[in-house]
Structure 1
Amino acid sequence: MNQTPRIFLMLLGATLLFHITLNYMDKNIADFETVPLPPKKIKKINSNNPIIKVNAKDRNTWMLVEFTTGKTIQISEREAETDKIGQANWDLGFSRTKIISNGGKTNPFGKTGIINLGLVNFDDVKSAPKTGYVQDHRSLGNLINKELAGWYNYRTRTHNIESKRNVYALKLNNGIFMKMRILNYYCSQKDNECRSMLCTREEAACLTIEYVLSQPGSQQFLDTLHVKNIQSQKNLIE
């Protein structure tokens, strides 16, 4: 039996159904436009130590963070050049890839200092150095801390930022010591996933930071088991 007529009728029916569907969608396009897209799946960054996530998307403001309390204050670039920056309790300030500390030229009355320990195992850092903490200075008119200035790699092919994951020792404004490591820069993607694709600016500047505080009066960092009971393990600062 010749199958050609049957195949022709099947193709004709499929074409007719396709056009009916298109016609229906065209007349009811508003219904399809208002259907929300599924939420973007956010890649979680895990650590056995406390993690804090800082929203530093606004390039015209600084997000100031006090790590011992988790409190923040957002100030403008202009306010950062006034006495207002010295009236708040904070340790580090974030604006996109830029990071400042509460000391030196940023705030002469602040006491925060930083040491870049390099690419070492985070959990192997058991105590903070006694001396050598660097405060902010001014370079070409910009506030900068040289220990933190090179915390990331910039990939020219995809224009993405990727943390070097260096470990930093800090003497905070209240005298407590802290070690920290920047784990990630993007809000919903991991840094290394942006090596092969373009991650947009809207997805950037949500810094994920791993940190451990010392006990007051001590330079020793608690081990992970004690840290879980004392410090908040997951915080989102916006």
Structure 2
Amino acid sequence: MNPTPKIFLMLLGATLIFHTALNYMIDNIEEFETVPLPPKKIKKISTNNPTIQVNAKIKDSWSLVNFSSGKTHSVADNKAREKAFQEISWDLGFSRTKIITNGGATNPQGKTGVINLGPVDFDKVSKAPRKGYVEDKISFGSLINKELSDWYNYRTRTHNIESKKNVYVVKLKNNRFMKMRILNYYCGKKDEECRTMMCSRQQAACLTVEYVLAKNGTEQFPQNIAGSNLAHNIDSSTNLN
């Protein structure tokens, strides 16, 4: 028996089924588009200290953070930035993985500097050093602070970022001191989860920064902040647009 007619009928039937399904989807495309995605699983990062989450997703823009007030300003990375750096009250600026300070080559009027203490116990840093603070410089046409430039590890296999969780002491422009460390770089995932899988660009540059400000006029960092109303858990899946 010649199998050709049987094969032809099978292909014809499959074609009819395909077109029927396609026509149904076209007629009901709005229903498919409005079906909500399942909610993201929320992962918590616990800390006993104040935190701030910084949206640094825009490559050609700086998110300038004032840690005393908790306010953030977005400034385009263009010729007008110099004026904005001088007029806005800010401490650190973030753009993707880059971090600058309100001092040195970035803004000589700011006087902000940084010391990298390395991966020490954050809560055991009780006093700010009196000297040794490094200000921003220009390197190959870009603003850079060498104390902050290597705050992360870059994984070549997955092309993802993981914070070294170093502790930094920052001397602010008003002679106030702050200690800080970057807890996480992603929204919705912990840095260590990206070691074996590629985390998306949309999830990146959503930095969670832990910080403690010294008491005004002193170099001492307050202890036992866990009992204050500033201590909280960070919802690392917060959507920052």
Uncovered stretches (5+) of structure 1, i.e. residues with no partner:
1-18
CA-CA distance at 1:174 after TM superposition: 1.9
Letter of the 1:67 partner, please give it: F
RMSD: 2.2
CA distance in 2, matches of 1:38, 1:31: 16
Q: 1:138 maps to what in 2? A: 138
CA-CA distance at 1:80 after TM superposition: 5.9
SS at match of 1:188: coil
CA distance in 2, matches of 1:86, 1:234: 33
SS at match of 2:199: coil
Report which stretch shifted further, 26-35 or 94-103.
Answer: 26-35
CA-CA distance at 1:81 after TM superposition: 4.5
Calculate the TM-score normalised by the size of structure 1. Answer: 0.84
Q: Map 1:28-177 to 2 at 5 A.
A: 28-79=28-79, 81-177=81-177
CA distance in 2, matches of 1:132, 1:82: 26
Letter of the 1:43 partner, please give it: K
CA spacing shift, 1:98–1:36, aligned 2, 3 Å: same
Letter of the 1:59 partner, please give it: K
CA-CA distance at 1:38 after TM superposition: 1.6
Q: In the alignment, is the contact (CA less than 8 A) between 2:46 and 2:232 conserved in 1?
A: no
SS at match of 2:106: coil
State the Cα deviation string for residues 31-83 of structure 1 (Å, max 9, x = none): 23321112222322210111110000000100000100111211110156422
Q: 1:182 maps to what in 2? A: 182
CA spacing shift, 1:177–1:226, aligned 2, 3 Å: farther
Letter of the 1:186 partner, please give it: Y
Q: In the alignment, is the contact (CA less than 8 A) between 1:66 and 1:91 conserved in 2?
A: yes
Q: In the alignment, is the contact (CA less than 8 A) between 1:50 and 1:228 conserved in 2?
A: no
CA-CA distance at 1:226 after TM superposition: 6.9
Q: In the alignment, is the contact (CA less than 8 A) between 1:52 and 1:234 conserved in 2?
A: no
SS at match of 1:90: coil
Q: 1:3 maps to what in 2? A: none
SS at match of 1:82: helix
Letter of the 1:131 partner, please give it: K
SS at match of 1:222: coil
Letter of the 2:200 partner, please give it: T
CA spacing shift, 1:233–1:102, aligned 2, 3 Å: farther
CA-CA distance at 1:30 after TM superposition: 3.6
CA-CA distance at 1:176 after TM superposition: 1.1
SS at match of 2:228: helix
Q: In the alignment, is the contact (CA less than 8 A) between 2:48 and 2:231 conserved in 1?
A: no
Q: Percent identity?
A: 59
CA-CA distance at 1:232 after TM superposition: 6.4
Q: In the alignment, is the contact (CA less than 8 A) between 2:55 and 2:206 conserved in 1?
A: yes
CA spacing shift, 1:68–1:144, aligned 2, 3 Å: same
CA distance in 2, matches of 1:234, 1:155: 27
CA distance in 2, matches of 1:159, 1:117: 26
Q: Map 1:196-207 to 2 at 5 A.
A: 196-207=196-207
SS at match of 2:212: strand
Report how many residues are paired: 217
